[in-house]
Amino acid sequence: MPENEDIARRIELEIDRALKRNIRGLDFLIADREPVGTMPKSAIYRSGTAVLYRYEPVLDEVYRKPLLIVSPPSNRGYIFDLAPGQSFVEYMLRRGYDIYNLDWNPPRRDEAELGLSDYVNRFLPESLAAIAGITGEKGISLAGYCMGGTLAVMHAALHPKAIRNLIAFATPLDFNFMKLFQSWADKRYFDVELLVSKLGIIPADVMLGAFDLSRPANRTAGRMTLWNNMWNDDFVKSYRMFDRWAAETLPLPGAYFRELITQLMWENALANGTMEIAGRRVDLSRITCPILNIVAQHDHIVSHEATRPLMEMTGSKQRHEIVSKGGHVSLVAGPAAVKRLWPLIDEWLGEKST
């Protein structure tokens, strides 16, 4: 049984937290958006929706091979650079990497016809050319998160010589295992043509609705947990950054969305080996560079099985897999990523970047 003194201290603590909750709760409601993406960077290539940033190196000596991170077209790239101390970019810059990020702006209506081939065969090669212009390096380390990873893998399969190392964060390749999206976009009932022809650009709400469907209680439970932890500045800051990132989901070009549904979801063309980009077959066995496949233990969007082709169908002799604690988003910037995953990535990539 706790002693009276302990109980008194606990009551005091809870009263203090309750007061802080109320004061900071009001602050939270009127606060500006949490600043994100704070590492200095500059745009070195831009073409409509595509923007390539270079982060300013922080060391005088960097690894020879640059690292390009491809963001998913439906989300902002600052998930890799949330805040000082919670930024993969900051960590890797301090470990001596020269880092680039292919990020996306909301597509304009005249970009509704952009398809997978524009992403894989235009924006990516043009980004590599811009990086080569600065560094003089032809071979680079290519990384991608979620669908950004899928685009990176397709590019690596089509242009294997340009890629020195390949890192995939929660990257879906076998879409038969994207269970929720399979139900949501069921071929028998989902009229993708109607959606694309009527809307042109697919609004972010469509994608957000699909994500919410997979975890309908998350938003409410998240708010309740936030209220409990309102006294904790670090928790509130982190919550607001992730919340902002999720709310800033981007719209998608209709043609890209159509191909995503018909070729990847319905035909599972990538895993079946029938995927074609601009008339060329995307053959995963052509990828022979070292591969690092990073999956989240509790990912409700991209299951471990959905990432398997990277470990089973590629031609690489050096394939390494890390199953990290956390979910689809915390995989990249959560506490387990900061403590364990990032050092492992550095250890794996450093020796291959000279």
Partner 1 sequence: MTISAFDPIAAWQKMIQDWEAEINAWSGRLTESEQFSAVLGQTSKMIVVAQKAMTEQLEGLLQSLNLPSKTQVEALADRLDSIEDSIAQLRIALDKLANDGTPTPVKTEPRRTRVPANKARKD
Piece in contact with partner 1 (CB under 8 A), picked from 29-37, 74-82, 105-113, 289-297: 105-113
Asked if 354 is part of the footprint of partner 1 (rule: CB under 8 A), the reply reads yes
Whether residue 51 contacts residue 45, with contact meaning beta carbons closer than 8 Å, is answered with yes
Q: How far apart are CA 354 and CA 165, in angstroms?
A: 11
Asked if 122 is part of the footprint of partner 1 (rule: CB under 8 A), the reply reads no
Tell me which of 22, 26, 133, 272 binds partner 1, using CB under 8 A: 133
Whether residue 217 contacts residue 271, with contact meaning beta carbons closer than 8 Å, is answered with no
Residue among 180 and 338 whose Cβ is closer to partner 1: 180
Piece in contact with partner 1 (CB under 8 A), picked from 19-27, 42-50, 156-164, 245-253: 42-50
Residue among 210 and 313 whose Cβ is closer to partner 1: 210
Residue among 21 and 282 whose Cβ is closer to partner 1: 21
Best CA proximity match to 52, nearest among 138, 152, 124: 124
Residue 327: is it exposed, middle or buried by C-beta count within 10 angstroms (0-12/13-18/19+)? middle
Piece in contact with partner 1 (CB under 8 A), picked from 19-27, 59-67, 113-121, 163-171: 59-67
Asked if 272 is part of the footprint of partner 1 (rule: CB under 8 A), the reply reads no
Q: Which residue in this structure is represented by tokens 């936030």? A: 226
| DSSP string computed for 250-282 | PPEEHHHHHHIIIIIIIS-HHHHT--EETTEE-
Piece in contact with partner 1 (CB under 8 A), picked from 27-35, 155-163, 179-187, 332-340: 179-187
Q: 327: alpha, beta or left, given left = phi > 0 and alpha = psi -120 to 50?
A: beta
Neighbour count for residue 193 (Cβ, 10 Å): 12
Asked if 30 is part of the footprint of partner 1 (rule: CB under 8 A), the reply reads no
Whether residue 278 contacts residue 288, with contact meaning beta carbons closer than 8 Å, is answered with no
**CB 144 to partner 1: min, Å:** 23
Whether residue 55 contacts residue 99, with contact meaning beta carbons closer than 8 Å, is answered with yes
Asked if 57 is part of the footprint of partner 1 (rule: CB under 8 A), the reply reads yes
Looking at residues 182 to 211 of the shown chain, list those that interact with partner 1 (rule: CB under 8 A): 183-184, 186, 188-191, 194-195, 198-199
Piece in contact with partner 1 (CB under 8 A), picked from 70-78, 108-116, 273-281, 304-312: 108-116
Residue among 286 and 300 whose Cβ is closer to partner 1: 300
Asked if 350 is part of the footprint of partner 1 (rule: CB under 8 A), the reply reads yes
Q: Which two tokens stand for residue 193?
A: 């043509």
Q: How far apart are CA 124 and CA 144, in angstroms?
A: 11
Neighbour count for residue 15 (Cβ, 10 Å): 10
Whether residue 140 contacts residue 164, with contact meaning beta carbons closer than 8 Å, is answered with yes
**Binding residue count for partner 1, defined by CB under 8 A:** 66
Query: Using CB under 8 A as the criterion, which residues of the chain lie in contact with partner 1 when the complex forms?
Result: 1-2, 6-7, 9-10, 14, 42-48, 51, 54, 56-57, 59-64, 96, 98, 105-106, 108-110, 130, 133-135, 137, 179-180, 183-184, 186, 188-191, 194-195, 198-199, 213-218, 220-221, 224-225, 228, 300, 347, 350-351, 353-354
